[in-house]
Amino acid sequence: MTTSELKAWRVRLGFSKTLMAEYLGFSIGGYIKLEQGQRLIQPQLQRTVDILQLIEAIAPSIAEQLIPVK
């Protein structure tokens, strides 16, 4: 996943940067660095994102339960 793909996913979900950081388990500063390309997207994060996107695709009702309160 590229930084632009990460941002596009966040925008598609309708998340603020703060909400996306919480969703992925990052501080807001850490997430912003990811989105700006100042921090590498590590394999563990990529696996987490892949799993979350798979859940969104095959079980949207479960995915909704994983989303932090907006």
Q: What is the pTM of this model?
A: 0.82
**Per-residue model confidence (pLDDT) at position 6:** 93
Local structure of 19: helix, strand or coil = helix
Query: Cβ–Cβ contacts within 10 Å for residue 22, how many?
Result: 17
Query: Can you read off the two tokens belonging to residue 36?
Result: 């700006």
pLDDT band at 9, cuts 50/70/90? very high
pLDDT band at 63, cuts 50/70/90? confident
**Per-residue model confidence (pLDDT) at position 70:** 60
Question: 3-66: what fold?
Answer: 434 Repressor (Amino-terminal Domain) (1.10.260)
Query: Cβ–Cβ contacts within 10 Å for residue 50, how many?
Result: 11
**Widest CA span in the chain:** 34
16-60 tens-digit pLDDT:
999 999 999 999 999 999 999 999 999 999 999 999 999 989 998
Exposure letters 31-45 (e unless 16+ CB within 10 A, then b): bbebbeeebebeeeb
Contact 5/35 with Cβ under 8 angstroms?
no
